[in-house]
Amino acid sequence: MLLQIFSSPIASGAQLFLLIVCILIGLGAGLSAMDFRKEVFKDNPKDEK
């Protein structure tokens, strides 16, 4: 998939823009997943009273 993006006949500026957007989406999804795991699987002995 990435090779198709880099070999596509669009301008290099558009390729760079798409690459940056994809990286930012991936980082956002990763951070959201980490935050979700922290919230769901956290151990709170204070709340178990």
Question: Over the chain (49 residues), what is each successive 10-residue block's mean pLDDT?
Answer: 65 83 93 89 64
Does 26 fall in a domain?
yes
Does 24 fall in a domain?
yes
Residue type at position 49: K
Q: What is the pLDDT of residue 14?
A: 82
The structure's pTM equals 0.58
Q: What is the pLDDT of residue 44?
A: 64
Does 45 fall in a domain?
no
Q: What is the pLDDT of residue 45?
A: 61
Q: What is the pLDDT of residue 24?
A: 95
Instruction: Return the exposure string of 25-47: e unless at least 16 CB atoms fall within 10 Å of the residue's CB, then b.
Output: eeeeeeeeeeeeeeeeeeeeeee
Q: Which two tokens stand for residue 32?
A: 């959201």
Q: What is the pLDDT of residue 22?
A: 92
Contact criterion met (CB below 8 Å) for 15 and 5: yes
Q: How many domains does the chain have?
A: 1
